[in-house]
């Protein structure tokens, strides 16, 4: 991942702020230039089009997320790996709620110019969860639950990812008075069979 | 919930189809009239503004979802209630992927005219999960997991809801060859402590 600085950074930050409230479609290059405080020539020098700008933004964000998840997991295995990944994803969401909201609304769209890039990066982030899930032995399900079919670790990874994404945003948007650790504990409880038969 | 028919129904369906690919911001009232095959006068007779149209659309969709979840749960308790709710939500997502995508991108936006309506309905749908979770005794967590703080059942409900929403869309968009039951089993495995210490 290339870390951007100076003008490029200001443009990316402005684009994210605007898109978080107005959506990508509601954000124009004129708006971005104004918010970033750069001339339009400079904006187009750095990003040739709005599509290219948002592709770079999502690429940077989701790419950094995958890196971050991999680092958080380190050499942990089993439930400890899941705990570390849930915590790391929750922290990323808290650190950049605007990006998390944008991701939530973009990851399943199939009409965007940046679809291919986002698909690859999304898959990379999910793969970190899927690997941990496979290693944790997803076969050991609750006694009366149907056993998951083989090869469903990406579906399970999406399930865990979605659990953290939605409850993380629920926390930030609607219950900001809660502590990070309370929220992490609630998510882990929901994933650890708290309400499943034992 | 009021079921719409005739012209109103055609308008709502057209608006959903358009918004699912272009987003709400990218959809104009002109587009909606054209897609629905109605005159603009008729469109504005039924919905006075684009905001009112999308508020009605989300109200209908999320309201129906809450009703549907409540019916699916019926008198079930414990893990059986969770299983029924996960299955019912997954089926709703499969039946109307366009609406599920729109919900995923709208539920955390706080800048929309319909924010209050959507907030109330979202809460209603989550409440069905939260009640089932509370009754299933969320206290019984895995031995070495931190106990969830009291009153976090809405966070846990968001976690379960997000798990189903994201894995459901993952299935429909990226792994459509899987069966509904495979996907439901994978989600339930991820929520039943399949990879948690026992």
CATH of span A54-191: 1.10.357.10
pLDDT of residue A121: 80
What CATH number was assigned to the domain covering residues B1-48? Answer: 1.10.10.60
What SS3 class is residue B6? helix
The answer on pLDDT for B10 being more than 50 is: yes
- A144 lies within 8 A of chain B by CB: yes
* Other C-beta atoms lying within 10 Å of the C-beta of residue A167: 30
Percentage of chain B surpassing pLDDT 70?
90
| Interhelix angle A180-191/B180-191, nearest 10 degrees | 130
Q: Is the pLDDT of residue B144 over 60?
A: no
Is A177 a residue whose pLDDT tops 70?
yes
Q: A54-191: same fold as A1-48?
A: no
| pLDDT band of A5, cuts 50, 70, 90 | low
Q: Is the pLDDT of residue B48 over 80?
A: yes
b/e map of A94-122 (b: 16 or more CB within 10 Å)? bebbebbbbbbbbbbbeebebeebbeebb
Res. B141 pLDDT band, cuts 50 70 90: very low
pLDDT digit string (tens) for B110-136?
A: 777 777 877 888 888 899 999 998 887
CB spacing of B108 vs A82 below 8 angstroms: no
Cβ atoms of A14 and A32 closer than 8 Å: yes
What CATH fold (topology level) applies to the domain B50-191?
Tetracycline Repressor; domain 2 (1.10.357)
CA distance A129 to A135: 10
Q: List B192's β-bridge partners, or say none.
A: A192
Strand ranges inside A3-68, DSSP E: none
- Please state the ipTM of this predicted complex: 0.86
Which chain B residue shows the shortest CA-CA distance from A194? B141
DSSP letter (8 states) at residue B112: S
CB atoms within 10 A of CB B139: 12
Structure tokens at B122: 């979202």
Closest CA–CA distance from residue B4 to any residue of chain A (Å) = 27
Q: Six-digit token pair at B86?
A: 């996960």
Residues in chain B within 8 Å Cβ distance of A82:
195-196
Predicted local confidence at residue A152, as pLDDT: 86
Q: Which residue has the higher pLDDT, A177 or A21?
A: A177
pLDDT of the residue at B50: 94
A181 touching B (Cβ < 8 Å): yes
> Mutate which of B25, B123, B194, B198 to disrupt the A interface (most A C-beta within 10 Å)?
B194
- Evaluate if residue B151 carries a pLDDT over 80: no
Share of chain A above pLDDT 70, in %: 90
Mean pLDDT of chain B, nearest integer:
86
Residues A129-156 as b or e (16 or more Cβ within 10 Å = b): bbbbbbebebeebbeebbebeeebbbbb
Whether residue A51 lies within 8 A of chain B, CB to CB, comes out as no
Residue pair B103/B57 in contact by the 8 Å Cβ criterion: no
Of residues A26, A78, A186, nearest to B159 (C-beta): A186
Which sequence spans correspond to the domains of chain A?
Answer: 1-48, 54-191
For residue A161, give the DSSP letter.
H
Distance of CA A61 to the CA centre of its chain: 8
């Amino acid at each position: 991942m290339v870390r951007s600085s100076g003008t490029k950074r200001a443009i990316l930050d402005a684009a994210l702020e605007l898109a978080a409230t107005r959506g990508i479609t509601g954000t124009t290059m004129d708006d971005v230039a104004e918010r970033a405080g750069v001339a339009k020539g400079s904006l187009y020098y750095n990003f040739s089009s709005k599509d290219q700008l948002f592709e770079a933004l999502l690429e940077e964000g989701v790419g950094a997320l995958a890196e971050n998840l991999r680092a958080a997991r380190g050499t942990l295995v089993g439930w400890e790996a899941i705990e570390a990944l849930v915590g790391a994803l929750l922290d990323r969401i808290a650190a950049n709620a605007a990006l998390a909201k944008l991701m939530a609304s973009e990851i399943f769209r199939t009409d965007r110019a940046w679809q291919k890039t986002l698909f690859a990066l999304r898959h990379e982030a999910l793969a970190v969860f899927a690997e941990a899930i496979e290693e944790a032995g997803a076969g050991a399900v609750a006694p009366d639950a149907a056993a998951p079919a083989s090869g469903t670790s990406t579906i399970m990874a999406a399930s865990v990812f979605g659990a953290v994404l939605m409850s993380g945003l629920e926390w930030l948007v609607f219950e900001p008075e809660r502590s990070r650790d309370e929220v992490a504990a609630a998510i882990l409880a929901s994933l650890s069979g708290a309400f499943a038969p034992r």
